[in-house]
Structure formats: structure tokens, C-alpha cells
Amino acid sequence: QDRYAVLGNPIGHSKSPLIHGLFARQTGQAMDYEAVLAPEDGFADTVRDLVARGYRGFNVTVPFKRQAFDLADTLAPRARRAGAVNTLMVEGGRLAGDNTDGAGLVTDLTRNLDQDLAGRRVLLLGAGGAARGVLQPLLQAGVGALHIANRTAARARDLAADFADLGAVTGGGLEDLAGGQYDLVINATAAGLGDQVPPLPDDLLAPGAGCYDMMYGDTPTAFVRWGRDHGAAWTADGLGMLVEQAAESFRLWRGCRPDTAPVRAQLRPGG
Ligand code: ATR
């Protein structure tokens, strides 16, 4: 059996072992996938120990994506852009780092939610690691214009400048949003952890607009509820993104891409 693991702290509630277990069964791949709690100050040692024991690859989650970036011997271009690694592949004793989060988001939007991103006015809320991680795939999906709005405006402006070579991307503060309208609003802030939404204008959504929360939960997230209350034509949380980033990691490791639809259905509350 080839062995894989997801590393995080905490890790107990990770859905990744379930997701990859379902992928492995569906595709007939002989592999084990487990959750491993790495000590806050012991990420690199934990990875080295698992590599020595023959593990073939890892997913990396909070709070270690930046440390995985630093640890990787090689980086995929999209991981370099993201400044973070969520997928490690062991290749001849060396660690190749990649980041499948942004691809997971774009696949969920385009394939599962049937959203044509071409020409759309997209608003990305937040300018931290989660926002940075999805910018390259979003811009490469051909969005018309992408604006980043953040509580700390300077952070959004800096982030936009870092990606300006990839497309029309601007940044600013939440207070500058008044008067603007968007076809798609993506929440990449951590406000939802406290069941909150950043302060947003009531008329932010253009007719037909959608709200996508990169967070997910067993009950509707605060941002999904905000969208429903403000006329969104559709809303979605980040469970689809979670499954799609996992499928992309699985493809990198195993060379085959699982069908995510039955897995997404199984993970839905009551599904
Ligand atoms: P992550 O890796 O989850 O992106 P992060 O790098 O700490 O974590 O970034 C958190 C993001 O959520 C930031 O954009 C942060 O805004 P600031 O840059 O102004 O700190 C945003 N955020 C967190 N709590 C928030 C809140 N209550 N309201 C609005 N934005 C919030």
C-alpha cells in the first residue's frame, strides 16, 4: 500500500481521510491516507520522519502551508505564486510542492456550479493567505476584472500589485466598495470563523450575481446567509472547493482524477 497523510494542527476534524478514502475506493488505487497531528514547532521533522518511513505524499493544512512552501525542494509555478503549499509529492527522496486550492475553487465554480467566469466582475474579500492562494487560477480563468477588498486596504493593494502581470486586478478597502456592483463575490476572509461577515454595502450584488464562501460548515455560513439576504441568485460554501482541491492532489499523486460528484454528495449534511 502506498501511504499518504494530511498534516495539520489541529487535524482531528479533517475530512481529507474520508475524501481520499472514497477516491481510492472509486478508482481502485491501493493506498492508505491518514490524518497526522504535527506539533506546532515540529512540522519539518514530522515530514522528514514520514518520508523516511516511505510515505509517498502529503496534504498540508492550517497552520503549515507556508512551512511546507519553505520545506519543498521544488515548487510548481502556481504554488510559488500562492506563497503556500498544500500538496507535497515525494519524488526520489525530494519533496515537490504544489498548491491545488485555487484550481479546486475554479473547478467548483465552473464545473459544479456552471459559472462562466469569462468577463465577470469578481470581488474577492480578504487579502491573507487564503486569498493569495486562489488569485492565479482565478485570473487565468479569464475573469473580466478582479477587485480585492480587505479590512486593511494596503494589504489588498499590495496583493493586487503582486498579481498585476496576470490580469486586471485592483485592491482597496472595504469602505471603498460603495457604489460598485459585482457578478461574483468570493469570501476569503477569516471573519466567518466568528460567524461574521465583513461590513458590505447592501447593493453590492449585480442582477444574477452569486456569493461563494471559501469556508464551509454543517449549517449555512455567515457569508452564505448574507448573500441570501441580499438578493444573490445563487450561493455556495467551500465544501465543493475542498473536494476539488483533494481531487487535484489525488491526480498529482496517482495520475487519475476521481469523479467528485458522489463524494460531494456524501459529504453534504444529510448526504
Ligand atoms: P488566511 O490564511 O485564512 O487568509 P490570514 O492570512 O490571517 O488568514 O488572513 C485573514 C483575512 O481575513 C485577512 O484578509 C483579514 O483582514 P486583515 O488583513 O484586515 O486582517 C480578514 N479578516 C479576519 N477577520 C475579519 C473580520 N472580522 N472582518 C473582516 N475581515 C477579517
Q: Express each pLDDT in 41-80 by its tens digit.
A: 999 999 999 999 999 999 999 999 999 999 999 999 999 9
Please give the angle made by the CA atoms of 155, 126 and 140, to the nearest 5 degrees.
95
φ, ψ at 84 (rounded to 5°): -160, 150
CB 150 less than 6 A from any atom of ligand 1: yes
* Ligand 1, atom 21, residue with closest C-alpha: 189
Residue 140's Cβ-count burial label (10 Å; 0-12, 13-18, 19+) is middle
3-state secondary structure of 9: coil
Give pLDDT, residue 16. Answer: 98
What are 133's three cell numbers?
492562494
Distance 9 CA to ligand 1 centre (A): 19
C-alpha cell at 129: 493567505
Indicate if the pLDDT at residue 95 is higher than 90. Answer: yes
- Ligand 1 centroid–CA 191 distance in Å is 6
Per-residue pLDDT tens for 129-183? Answer: 999 999 999 999 999 899 999 999 999 999 999 999 999 999 999 999 999 999 9
**Predicted-complex ipTM score:** 0.98
Joined grid coordinates for residue 89: 509529492
- Calculate the CA dihedral of residues 225, 230, 235, 238 and round it to 10 degrees: -50
- Cα of 146 vs centre of ligand 1, distance in Å, is 18
Residue 185 Cα distances to 129, 205, 220, angstroms = 17, 8, 16
The rounded distance, in Å, linking the Cα atoms of 84 and 81 is 8
Best probe residue, ligand 1, of 65, 134, 151 (max atoms within 8 Å of C-beta): 151
Q: Could you give the domains of the chain?
A: 2-99+241-267 (3.40.50.10860), 102-237 (3.40.50.720)
pLDDT band (50, 70, 90) for residue 269: confident
Q: Is 118 exposed, middle or buried (0-12, 13-18, 19+ CB in 10 A)?
A: exposed
Does 87 or 144 have the greater pLDDT score?
87
Is any ligand 1 atom within 6 A of the Cβ of residue 128? yes
Strand partners, 205: 182
Catalytic positions are 65
Residue whose CA is at the smallest distance from ligand 1 atom 9: 128
Can you give the pLDDT at residue 93?
87
Which is it for strands 2-8 and 234-236: parallel, antiparallel or unpaired? Answer: unpaired
Closest CA to 7 of 54, 53, 52, 40: 40
- Any atom of ligand 1 within 6 Å of the Cβ of 127: yes
Position 271 scores a pLDDT of: 64
Residues above pLDDT 90, as percent of the chain = 98
> Residue 102 pLDDT more than 70?
yes
Query: Which residues make up each annotated binding site?
Result: 14-16, 61, 86, 101, 126-130, 150-155, 214, 216, 238, 245
The confidence band for 270, taking pLDDT boundaries of 50, 70 and 90, is: confident
User: Count of CB atoms within 10 A of residue 50's CB?
Assistant: 22
Flag whether pLDDT at 217 surpasses 70.
yes
Q: What is the pTM of this model?
A: 0.97
- Each residue of 26-49: pLDDT tens digit? 999 999 999 999 999 999 999 999
